[in-house]
Structure 1
């Protein structure tokens, strides 16, 4: 665990203790279960956002993608009677294709990630609203899908399956990012894309893969959200979810400049965000302040990351000067001894 991860874990404990002292219901089984479910739902696509931020990019289309894919999934299963395993595979395929389109536009046509994904945000939301005619897409009244419901909204040992899914995805992504060649290439591209390209790394492929991973995990989250809400309102479903993902990644140590990040950190970031949301609800703070809390958290995370990087840069510079001084000093003494001898 990195120092940032440890510090974030301590902050989570401190905030949780403060909330519990104000309202003991914070540690009630029902509240913990609901919070764990939301952590799993938001953590899934926050991990994907981390891969994109690692490259120095950003994906603003996450929320709209959740709405579009959610609408399609609900209609496939509830309206057209497509078997749910086939529907899930279809949603994953569509999400992967959308991520591939993002990556190719960025790497092949040299478009800015902000512009590409901002357009995606508008396009996917518009398609979802146009497809449904602004109507809410939902499962037929009284419809039941036992196996699908067990997989998505079921619980084992009191823990929501969405949380288990996030942990499983987190473990796989941890190995991919921190223990694989692809992960090292991803970090190299984020630190300096030109240097990575000159060293033989296929930077375009690496960046495109990051956007594909992000979109695929967003597709998984879209299925879970659709089953959790049981209906999808295309104009509001998934609104500002991209902010949650970015905030969780930044709080978890992913630098917006790219090249740095921790999967454990982004999961802890998702935990902290949901803990703060829980604080807002339990302490009776008006829900209208949710976005104010979110903005303050993002600002604090970016500011802390910036200050930490400045501090680390100063430490490296000071260490380099010390090494240089130790190398220069012996040579000066040696010259003095030689001069004295002559």
Structure 2
């Protein structure tokens, strides 16, 4: 565990203990399990968005993806009665396809990730509203997919399946990011795409795959959220979820410059963000301040990243100057 992750863990524990001391309800089993459910729901999309940020990009469209993929999933499942396995598969494929489109636009057409995903944010929301005639979609009588409902919103030993699934995905992605060739390529591209390309790394494929993973995780998350909310209102479903994901990734140590980050950090960032949101509710702070808290958290994360970057640059400059001084002394000694 690195210093950033350890610091995050300590901060989470301190905030948790203080909140529990003020209001014991925070430490109740019901609240902790609900908190775990929220962490599982938002942790999945945060991992995908975090991978994109590591490449030096940004993903702003996941909230609108939720709305579009959510209404498509419900339409296939309820209205067309395709059965939940096929409906789920099509939804995941849709998320992957949207991610691939983003990746290709960024790598092949050299469009800015901000522009591409901002257009996606608007486009997918608009399509979702048109697709449903701007009406809320639901499960109807909810018959025929009890198994899927249990998988998506049930619990095992009182632990939410969303949280269990997050742990599984986080473990897999930790191996991919920190123990595989693709992970090394991802960090290399984030630090300097041009240098990575000259080193023989297929930068276009690496970046595109990051967007595909983000889209796939958004597809999975959209189904979890459908069963969590039990309906999808295309005008509001998933609003600002991309900001939650970005905030969690930045809090977890992902630099907006790219080239830095860890899966553990992203998960801990999600935990901290959800603990803060829960704290607002538990302590009776007006819920209207939720977004203010999130904005302050993102600002604090960016400022911290900048300070750490300056310290690293200062250390590198000092080490380089010391090395040059030693080299001069060695040359002078050899001349004598």
**TM-score when scaled to structure 1?**
0.96
1:75, 1:139 within 8 Å by CA — same for their partners in 2?
no
C-alpha displacement of 1:85:
1.1
Which residue pairs with 2:149 in the alignment? Answer: 149
Which residue pairs with 2:301 in the alignment? Answer: 301
Unaligned stretches of 5+ in structure 2?
Answer: none
Which residue pairs with 2:6 in the alignment? Answer: 6
Distance between the aligned counterparts of 2:142 and 2:106, measured in 1? 45
Partner-residue secondary structure (3-state), 2:237: coil
C-alpha root-mean-square deviation of aligned residues, in Å? Answer: 1.0
Which residue pairs with 1:212 in the alignment? Answer: 212
Distance between the aligned counterparts of 2:7 and 2:325, measured in 1? 34
C-alpha displacement of 1:142:
4.9
1:226, 1:232 within 8 Å by CA — same for their partners in 2?
yes
Which residue pairs with 1:86 in the alignment? Answer: 86
**Number of residue equivalences:** 336
Deviates more, 1:69-78 or 1:142-151: 142-151
The one-character-per-residue Cα deviations of 1:287-313 (angstroms, maximum 9, x if unpaired) are 111100000000000100110111111
Which residue pairs with 1:137 in the alignment? Answer: 137
C-alpha displacement of 1:143:
3.2
**TM-score when scaled to structure 2?**
0.98
Unaligned stretches of 5+ in structure 1?
Answer: none
Distance between the aligned counterparts of 2:315 and 2:59, measured in 1? 33
Runs ≥4 residues deviating over 6 A: none
Deviates more, 1:74-83 or 1:212-221: 74-83
Which residue pairs with 2:242 in the alignment? Answer: 242
The one-character-per-residue Cα deviations of 1:42-71 (angstroms, maximum 9, x if unpaired) are 000100001100110001001000111111
C-alpha displacement of 1:158:
1.4
Distance between the aligned counterparts of 1:130 and 1:265, measured in 2? 38
Change (3 A) 1:35 1:215: same
Equivalence map 1:157-236=2 (5 Å): 157-236=157-236
The structure that has the greater radius of gyration is 1
C-alpha displacement of 1:79:
2.0
C-alpha displacement of 1:240:
0.1
Which residue pairs with 2:16 in the alignment? Answer: 16
